[in-house]
Structure 1
Amino acid sequence: MATPSIKEVAHRAGVSVGTVSNVLNRPAIVAPATRQRVLDTIQALGFVRNEAARNLRVGRGRTVGLVVLDVANPFFTDLAEGAESLAYEHDTVVMLCNSKTDPVREGHHLDQLEQQRAFGILITPFDSNDPRLRGLVARGTPVVLVDRAADGGLCSVSVDDKLGGRLAGTHLIESGHRRIAFIGGPLTMQQVADRQAGLTTTVEQAGDVALEIIEVEVMGVAHGRAVGEDLAALSPRSRPTAVFCANDLLALGFLQAMAAANLRVPQDVAIVGYDDIGFAAAAAVPLSSVRQPAGLLGRTAMELLQEEVEDADRHRHRQVIFQPDLVIRQSSDFVRR
C-alpha cells in the first residue's frame, strides 16, 4: 500500500498543501480548528512526513550529532542525557557517535553528519584546534565544543580543568602526601593536560612534594588496573602514597589493583578520580572525585546550538565555563602523620 502524500492529506482535510505544510512545520500560525482537522486527517491516513526530502528543501535536518570520546564512560552518557532532554523539547533527535579518541574515526563521523545535513554538531574533540571544525561552520553546519574550551571562533561549554587539578592536589597535599602520581592520557588531550597542569602547579607551590606523571593510552578501567599493579609491586618507600587519576574509570581500575594487592585505601594509597560518575560513590571504597556537571554541560551545549541555528544573524559565539568541585569520600579521607 502506497504511503499517502501531502496532497492527499490536503484534499481529504479540505485545505491547501501550504496549510498542511504549516501544520507540520509552523503549527502556531494555523488556526486551532484547522490545525486539529489536518492532524486528524494525518492520523486517519497514516501519513508520514518524508524527512529526507524536507532536509533537501530546507537545507538542514532535525538530527543533532553528538560526537564523544568514549561511550563506555558514564560521564558521556550523562552528558548525552542532558543534551537530549533539551533536543526533545525542540523536536530534534540526538545521534550519538563514538570517536574512541581516534582522530580518523572522529573525522568519519563529522563527514557523515555534514553529508546528512545535520541540524548541528556537539563534539568533545580529540583536538580542539582541528581545522575541520571551523570548516564545518564555514560551510553552514553549526558546531559547539563540549567539555572543551574554544578560542572564540566557536561556541563551547567546558569546565575549568586546571582548577579541578588544583583542588585534587591541594586536598592530597593538605592530607600529608608528599609522593603523588598523576595517571592520565594521552597527555596531548587538552582536558588531560589541563588537569595535570593544575596538579603540577599546586605541587610546585608546595615545594616539598614529588610528582610522578604516568601516561596511559586509554583512560579505562583496565589501564587503571594495569598501572595499579605496577605501583603495587614497588616498595612502600618508593611507591606514591596518593594518586590523582584523570577520570573515574582509571581510578576504579586502580582501586581494584590495590584491593588485589591487599593494600589499604586510603591508608596505604589514597585515590582521587575525576568526573564523579555514579559508580564513584558506589565503589567498594567510595571514591573521592572532582565533580563535573555532565548533564548541565550537555543541556547548555544544546542551548547554544539552538541559539546559533534559530538566530544566526545576531548570534555571537559564547564560551561557557563551569567550576568543578571536589567530592571527598573514603578513598582519600585520611590524614597521614
Structure 2
Amino acid sequence: MARVGIREVAVLAGVAVGTVSNYLNHPDRVSDDKAQRIRYAIDSLGFVPSNAGRQLRLGVSRVIGYIAPDVSNPYFAEIAESVERRADERGVTVFLANSHRDRAREDSYLQVFEQHQVQGLLVSSHTQIEDRLEQVRKRGTPSVLVGQRARSLAQPSVSLDDVSGGRQAMQHLIEVGCRRMAFVGGPLGISQVADRLTGASEAVRAFGAATLEVIDQTDRTVRGGHEVGEALLARPADMRPEGIFAVNDLLALGIMQALVLGGVSVPRDVAIAGYDDNEFAEASLIPLTSVQGRHDGYGAAVVDLLFDEIEGNTIDEPHRMFEPSLVARASTSGFGRA
C-alpha cells in the first residue's frame, strides 16, 4: 500500500502544497479555515508526516542513538531505561541498538546513526572503540563512551571505578574468612574486566595470607557460570576456591546454581560475590552479594554530558566516574559456619 504524501493532503484540502508544509512546520502562518481543512484531510487520508525530511532541511534532529553490547543483560537494560528517562525530560528520543558484543555490528550501527543524522551517540562497548568514535566525531556527530573510561580527553565518558569495585568484592570475601580465592571472568582485553581483576588482586596482595586463582570465562552469562561451576565440582573439595568473585552477576548466579545442585553449600562451603547488582541478584533463591554500580544520577550524567558536547559547552570533567558500593547478602554471610 502506497504511503500518502503531502500532495494528496493538499488536493483533498483544496490548498497549495506549501500551505500544508506551513501547517506542519509553521502553523501560525495558516488561517483557521485552511488549518481545519488540512486537519480533516490528514485524518481522512491517514497521512503521517515525515520527520526525516524536515530534519534534513533544518539540519536538526530530536533523536540520539544508544549502542549497547547486550540488552539481555539486565544491567545494560537498566542503563538504557535511565538514559531514556533523562532524554525524555530533554524532549529527545533514544534509538537503542544491540551490538551483541560484535564489532561489525557496532560499526554498522555507527554508520546507520550517522546517516540518520542523530544529534549524538551514547556507546557502551566491550571493545576499543575510541578510534572509531573519533572519526565519527570529526564528521560532526558527538558521542559519550558509557561504562568505560576514555583514554583521550577529547572523548567524554561516564564509567564506574571498577578497580575500587573489584577491591571491595575481594576484601569482603577475605573479611568473611575466605582464603583460597578465585576471580572468574574474561577476556582481560575488556578494560572493565581487567580493572575488576586489578582491584581484586590488590586486595589479596594487601592481605598477604590468601591466594588468588584466575579462571578465564569469556561467556559472561548464566550458562558460562554453569560451565565454571561444573568444572569446580570435578575437583576435590580441598582444591576448590573458598571465595569466588565473578565479573558479573549472571556468571555468579550460574556458578552458584551449579555448585548448589552438585551438593555444595553456599555460603557455608563457598562464598560467592558478583558485580552489577542486577535485579536477579537480590531475587535469587540465595540472594547474591554484589557490587552495585547503579546510581540515580548515572543516566542523567550520560545524557547531560552528551548535550554539553552537542551544545558546545565547556566541559570541566570530561571523564565522569562513579564510585560503586558492595551490597552484602546471603551468598557470603555465614561462610565456614556449621
What TM-score comes out, normalization by structure 2 length? 0.87
Aligned residue number for residue 57 of structure 2: 57
- Change in 2 beyond 3 A, CA 1:69/1:330: same
Corresponding position of 1:137: 137
The DSSP-based 3-state class of the residue aligned with 1:186 is: coil
Task: Please tell me whether the aligned partners of residues 20 and 38 of structure 1 are also in contact (alpha carbons under 8 angstroms).
Answer: no
Supply the RMSD in Å over aligned alpha carbons.
Answer: 2.9
Q: Distance between the aligned counterparts of 2:201 and 2:7, measured in 1?
A: 64
CA distance in 2, matches of 1:316, 1:37: 52
Summarize the alignment of residues 81-120 of structure 1 with structure 2, pairs less than 5 Å apart: 81-120=81-120
Report the counterpart of residue 270 of structure 2 in structure 1. Answer: 269
What is the CA–CA distance in structure 2 between the aligned matches of 1:295 and 1:62, rounded to whole Å?
A: 24
Is residue 252 from structure 1 mapped to residue 256 from structure 2 by the alignment? no
1:331 aligns with 2:331: yes
Q: How many residues align?
A: 327
Give yes or no for contact 1:82–1:294 (8 Å, CA) kept in 2: no
Partner Cα separation in structure 2 for residue 265 and residue 288 of structure 1: 12
Say which is worse superposed, 255-264 or 61-70, in terms of deviation. 61-70
* Partner Cα separation in structure 2 for residue 243 and residue 93 of structure 1: 41
Instruction: Work out the CA distance in 2 between the residues paired with 1:10 and 1:301.
Output: 48
Alignment of 1:67-216 (within 5 A): 67-128=67-128, 130-151=130-151, 152-216=153-217
Q: Is the 8 A contact 1:145 1:156 kept in 2?
A: yes
Q: 1:150-184 CA deviation, whole Å, 9 max, x = no partner?
A: 23211111111100001101101111111111111
The residue aligned with 1:297 is 298
Superposition deviation, residue 91 in structure 1: 3.0
Deviates more, 1:85-94 or 1:293-302: 293-302
Change (3 A) 1:239 1:138: same
Residue in 1 that maps onto 2:5: 3
In structure 2, the partner of 1:222 is: 223
TM-score normalised to the size of structure 1?
0.87
**Alpha-carbon distance in 2 for matches of 1:242, 1:153:** 40
Identify if the C-alpha distance between structure 1 residues 301 and 35 changes in structure 2 by more than 3 Å, giving closer, same or farther.
farther
Q: Give the gaps of 5 or more residues in structure 1.
A: 24-29
Aligned CA distance change for structure 1 residues 275 and 112 (closer, same or farther; 3 Å): same
The answer to whether the 8 A contact 1:4-1:45 is kept is no
Pair 1:70–1:42, CA change in 2 (3 A): farther
Contact 2:176-2:335 at 8 Å conserved across structures: yes
Amino acid at match of 2:97: C
Pairwise CA distance, 1:200: 0.5
Looking at structure 2, the residues matched to 242 and 112 of structure 1 have their Cα atoms a distance apart, in angstroms, of: 45
Measured in 1, the distance between the counterparts of 2:307 and 2:332 equals 41
- 1:128–1:150 CA contact under 8 A, matched in 2: no
Superimposed CA distance per residue, residues 7-44 of structure 1 (whole angstroms, 9 cap, x where no aligned partner): 959969x9896685256xxxxxx79xx99999877754
Deviations 1:283-321 (A, max 9, x none): 010000000116643332112112222x22655662111
1:319 and 1:19 map into 2 onto residues whose CA distance is 44
Point out where structure 2 has 5 or more consecutive residues left out of the alignment: none
Letter in 1 for 2:187: P
Q: 1:5: Cα distance to partner?
A: 6.1
CA contact (8 A) 2:169 2:200 kept: yes
How far apart, CA to CA, are the structure 2 residues paired with 1:35 and 1:164? 62
In structure 2, do the counterparts of structure 1 residues 42 and 156 end up closer, same or farther at CA, with 3 Å as the change threshold? farther
Deviation at 1:103, TM superposition (A): 1.7
| 1:49 CA drift (Å) | 3.0
Partner Cα separation in structure 2 for residue 332 and residue 141 of structure 1: 46
* Separation in 2, partners of 1:285, 1:35: 67
